[in-house]
Structure 1
Amino acid sequence: MTSNERVIELEGVIKRYRNGDEIIEALKGVDFSADHGEMVTVIGPSGSGKSTLLNIIGLLDTPTEGSVRHHGKEVSVFTEDKLTEERRSSIGFVFQSFHLLPMLTATENVELPSMWDTSVDRHDRAIELLSRVGLSDRLDHTPDRLSGGQKQRVAIARALINQPDIVLADEPTGNLDQDTGRTILEELTRLKDEENVAIVAVTHDNQMLEFTDRVVRIVDGEVRDRKT
């Protein structure tokens, strides 16, 4: 994770969906980028295109027009297998609803994304990450024995298990009270600096603006302004 190239770069991205006889343009010529060690926060009203943008950045969706480059490589030429490999190895996801499996312990939930890779010691890495987010005493706890903030910390540790270049966070503080949300944002900031990852977060939480390096505002599928 020492490359000088931007982790992700979108140029002129347009995304259209068909809804019956109607064509919906979710993104309209969007330019976007994120660098190593940078937190970019995407804000905007509901239905503005934030989730579509996050899906394209996360290689879960493809643009109708425009260019998406991951470490300088045009992803439109990637095969499905290559896209899957990039998502697994380079991108971590943190969701508002945590998405933890209820029958697994915190350690087992963190290990999940790396189970396909037998070349790494995922168990030790999971324990290390959980310890770093302050959960060394919760390793064997299932989600029903964890608070909301603890569940989100497990989700953050899980997002980092494969040593990604970029972490995508969809409303990471949305289900948390303000104090717990602030703790999670402090955790993301610390891990961003220590792991040198890019973090792209979609949020309605204004307190996140205190922690971000850059704010991108999107309205009706268009980037209206960028703030540093």
Structure 2
Amino acid sequence: MSVIVLESVTKRYESGAETVVALDAVDFHADRGEMVSIIGPSGSGKSTMLNMIGLLDTPTSGTVRIDDRVVSDFSEADLTEERRSGIGFVFQDFHLLPMLTAVENVELPSMWDTSVDRRDRAVDLLRRVGLGDRLTHTPDELSGGQRQRVAIARALINEPDIVLADEPTGNLDRDTGATILDELTRFTDEEDVAVVSVTHDEQLVEYADRVVELIDGVIQG
């Protein structure tokens, strides 16, 4: 069963007298253990599609399902909890808090759940990405590639079903980008998560199990 499914999802924005169709009857799915890359030119609807998958926006029409549950049936509390525990995010600009150490940044998404202590998992994840000797370093003491590894560990802290990666190699050189993609690929298998990436980077496409091309809000092919 697919962990995330979009069925005929359309998103329209009203801009004065003009209607902008960001997504037009999009069908999409991603399975656990699969890396899917969404590609397309600027303005093609990639970010809107990622927001739909990440439950950050709602469709004008169509259906979004998470584990065969219809998202439109979720309460606000359900949506918040699903985003917190079921979905991890990796961004181009890392989005680490500068005053926190690496391990504290990784723990951050779990700090609102007082029923569980995630410190051991945070340490384990950082060790698995080769940062066992950087646990107490702040972001300004880490390279760009190391910061992105921290971001990947943070995305996995709550054992999500889906990891969304928005241009995860955009600020990295090619060799460092390849290292990051190796890490994402490994965690896709080890954690059995669905990784959905939005990218302009052909290097990331090479690592994907499946590539989806989006042009003018329409999936090609």
* 2:107 alignment partner, one of 108, 111, 115: 111
Q: CA deviation at 1:111?
A: 0.5
Structure 2 match to 1:122: 118
Amino acid of the structure 2 residue aligned with 1:212? A
Q: CA deviation at 1:20?
A: 2.3
1:59 to 2:55 alignment: yes
Structure 1 match to 2:133: 137
Identity among equivalent pairs (%): 72
* 1:17 alignment partner, one of 13, 17, 40: 13
Q: Secondary structure at the match of 1:139?
A: coil
Q: CA deviation at 1:23?
A: 1.2
Unaligned runs of 5+ in 1: none
* 1:37 alignment partner, one of 17, 30, 33: 33
Distance 2:204 2:141 in 1: 27
Summarize deviations over 1:104-134 as a string: whole Å, max 9, x none.
Answer: 0000000000001112221111101000111
Distance 1:173 1:222 in 2: 25
Distance 2:118 2:16 in 1: 45
Distance 1:9 1:16 in 2: 19
1:89 to 2:90 alignment: no
1:218 to 2:214 alignment: yes
Q: Secondary structure at the match of 1:109?
A: helix
Amino acid of the structure 1 residue aligned with 2:147? K
Summarize deviations over 1:60-117 as a string: whole Å, max 9, x none.
Answer: 0000000100000100011111000111110000000000000000000000000011
Distance 1:96 1:55 in 2: 15
Distance 1:18 1:138 in 2: 47
Distance 1:18 1:133 in 2: 44
Q: Secondary structure at the match of 1:155?
A: helix
Amino acid of the structure 1 residue aligned with 2:80? T
Q: Secondary structure at the match of 2:125?
A: helix
1:169 to 2:165 alignment: yes
Summarize deviations over 1:149-208 as a string: whole Å, max 9, x none.
Answer: 000000000000000000000000000000000000000000110000000000011011
Q: Secondary structure at the match of 1:83?
A: helix
Amino acid of the structure 1 residue aligned with 2:52? I
Distance 1:171 1:139 in 2: 25
* Structure 1 moving runs of 4+ over 4 Å: none
Distance 1:174 1:199 in 2: 17
Q: CA deviation at 1:19?
A: 1.7
Unaligned runs of 5+ in 2: none
Structure 2 match to 1:102: 98
Q: Secondary structure at the match of 2:220?
A: strand
User: Matched residue pairs, number?
Assistant: 221
